[in-house]
Amino acid sequence: MKKIFLLVKPFLISILVGLVIGLIIGAYQFIMKYVTNLSLYLYSNKTLINFIILIICLFIFSIANYFIIKLCPQIDGSGIPSLELGIRKYCKINYKFDVFGMIINSYISSFIGLPLGSEGPSVVIAGKLSKLVCDITKNKDDELIPLASGIGFGCAFLSPLSGLVYAFEEMFHSFKFINLIKGILIILSAFCIEILINKHFLLSLNNFVEIDFKTSYILILIMIFDLVIGYLFVKILITLKEFLIKNNKNILIKFRSFPLLIITFILNIYFYMYLGSGGLLMKENVINFNLSFIIFILISRFLLTIISGTGSVTGGLVVPIMSIGYLIGQIICLISKNTLSLPIAYFQYYSLISAIMLFGIITKTPLTSSSLIFTTILRSSNFNLILSLKYSLLPIIIVFIAIYLSKFTKLDCLYEEQMNLTLKYRKS
């Protein structure tokens, strides 16, 4: 009997990890929706009382954000590079205060309207929760942590396939059949719980329409622009991050979260629908047909996301990166409409492809990006497998080509670059 128990114990613990992740992340994402809606209400209804509430919250939350990060340094930024360093045994994975601190701080970022998402915290929360469960059950299976982290990614997007793929592609960088079984158990148990709590899809087409493949040239244009923007994003963020590390004793740099939150607050008074995490933005098919306005929002989001991504605040970069890609798609589609009469109904399809492609280029995750494209189109086409394959196959091929070409820049995945930077200055 004991032998049977020892044999099935890893699988039972995997199920337990999945249930805990599904419950906590489901509740986290559910509350996040209400935090975002409350923030939207206060920013969009410009009354004196709402303005006073926002000012008071800005003051309190700025101080809270600073001290939470000081207490839990591993939740600085998206938290993913720190988690991956822990997985690779460069540091200890802390969870005592980190899970609660990350949840609270990401709510603060969302409420103020920073261009940071909930998917990064979901990855980190899932990883740290699995470490907690392993410690409680005295299980020494360290491979559960990267598995669970990947499942956290899938929970954020309500995409089980993407979560499983992300675990192996980004967190493991390798494949074992036994880990696949444990991953399936984690993701099934997690989703059984989460789907009861949270049914918010981050990526979906408002209205699925059949695309004329004569317009596929847009995918090539998107690839070119995404490659340029992806390179600039990683290069500027890493350069800025290195500068901040070198000058971390400067008082202005040490307390840089305060001016960042104030600037974001001011911009959101006028442009909240187009700033924030980017989830609301990607529900828009066209942004009032004003090309100069879209370019302004693109530049604003690009700069704010980079600054936010260097640390001092908490939140994920995946959805903000996708929103930048989405805007690139909107710009290309709008120009194509004015010059080549591209139908407006095609805009969101190409923009979502651009969003996922930019994410793939920056994170060097072709398989995860492909699974996101497929599941997004599958969900939007009412689970019509034939239609989904028809409209996802070509974009998936282009994504693979784009990520292959991005490797010639000699820049690694964004998270790898951040980890290398951390290790470089830890040794020096």
For tokens 């989405």, the residue is: 326
Please indicate, yes or no, whether residues 166 and 312 belong to a single structural domain of this protein.
Answer: no
* Residues 70-86, mean pLDDT to the nearest whole number: 87
pLDDT tens-digit readout, 309-343: 888 888 889 999 999 999 999 999 999 988 888 88
Q: Does 208 map to a domain?
A: no
| Beta carbons within 10 angstroms of residue 223's beta carbon | 23
Q: Name the residue among 25, 156, 117 with its Cα closest to residue 315.
A: 117
Out of 137-151, 177-191, 204-218, 393-407, the most confident range is 393-407
Out of 136, 168, 197, pick the residue that ends a domain.
197
55: pLDDT strictly greater than 80 = yes
Q: Does 14 map to a domain?
A: yes
Q: Does 150 map to a domain?
A: yes
Q: Does 206 map to a domain?
A: no
CA 421 to chain centre: 21
CATH at 270? 1.10.3080.10
Please indicate, yes or no, whether residues 123 and 257 belong to a single structural domain of this protein.
Answer: no
Start-end of H helices in 310-413: 318-340, 347-363, 366-380, 385-406
pLDDT tens-digit readout, 123-167: 999 999 999 888 888 877 778 888 889 888 888 888 888 888 888
CA 229 to chain centre: 17
Out of 195-199, 381-385, 398-402, the most confident range is 398-402
* Residues 165-187, mean pLDDT to the nearest whole number: 82
**What confidence score (pLDDT) does residue 47 get?**
87
pLDDT tens-digit readout, 210-256: 888 888 899 999 999 999 999 999 999 999 999 988 888 888 788 88
Out of 164, 197, 230, pick the residue that ends a domain.
197
1: pLDDT strictly greater than 70 = no
pLDDT tens-digit readout, 56-67: 998 998 899 889
Please indicate, yes or no, whether residues 347 and 232 belong to a single structural domain of this protein.
Answer: yes
Please indicate, yes or no, whether residues 263 and 410 belong to a single structural domain of this protein.
Answer: yes
The crossing angle, in degrees rounded to 10, of helices 98-112 and 257-271 is: 40
pLDDT tens-digit readout, 110-125: 999 899 988 889 999 9
**What confidence score (pLDDT) does residue 5 get?**
58
Helix (H), strand (E) at residue 293: helix 291-309
Q: Does 183 map to a domain?
A: yes
Give dist(CA 108, CA 128) in Å, integer: 20
**What confidence score (pLDDT) does residue 7 get?**
67
Please indicate, yes or no, whether residues 31 and 121 belong to a single structural domain of this protein.
Answer: yes
Q: Does 1 map to a domain?
A: no
Give dist(CA 362, CA 320) in Å, integer: 12
**What confidence score (pLDDT) does residue 427 get?**
58
DSSP three-state, residue 314: strand
Out of 173, 197, 221, pick the residue that ends a domain.
197
**What confidence score (pLDDT) does residue 239 get?**
94
**What confidence score (pLDDT) does residue 395 get?**
94
Please indicate, yes or no, whether residues 235 and 315 belong to a single structural domain of this protein.
Answer: yes
Task: Find the domain containing 85 and state its range.
Answer: 7-197
* Residues 185-211, mean pLDDT to the nearest whole number: 78
Please indicate, yes or no, whether residues 253 and 397 belong to a single structural domain of this protein.
Answer: yes
Structural domains counted in the chain: 2
Q: Does 207 map to a domain?
A: no
Residue 73: band (very low, low, confident or very high) from pLDDT cuts 50, 70, 90 = confident
Please indicate, yes or no, whether residues 157 and 222 belong to a single structural domain of this protein.
Answer: no
Please indicate, yes or no, whether residues 150 and 232 belong to a single structural domain of this protein.
Answer: no
Please indicate, yes or no, whether residues 16 and 64 belong to a single structural domain of this protein.
Answer: yes
Please indicate, yes or no, whether residues 269 and 381 belong to a single structural domain of this protein.
Answer: yes
pLDDT tens-digit readout, 279-315: 888 877 776 668 888 899 899 999 999 998 888 888 8
**What confidence score (pLDDT) does residue 288 get?**
67
70: pLDDT strictly greater than 60 = yes
**What confidence score (pLDDT) does residue 406 get?**
92
pTM comes to 0.93
Q: Does 45 map to a domain?
A: yes
For tokens 């000058």, the residue is: 247
Residue 2: band (very low, low, confident or very high) from pLDDT cuts 50, 70, 90 = low
Q: What is the mean pLDDT of the chain?
A: 87
* Residues 368-392, mean pLDDT to the nearest whole number: 86
278: pLDDT strictly greater than 60 = yes
**What confidence score (pLDDT) does residue 3 get?**
67
Please indicate, yes or no, whether residues 120 and 176 belong to a single structural domain of this protein.
Answer: yes
85: pLDDT strictly greater than 60 = yes
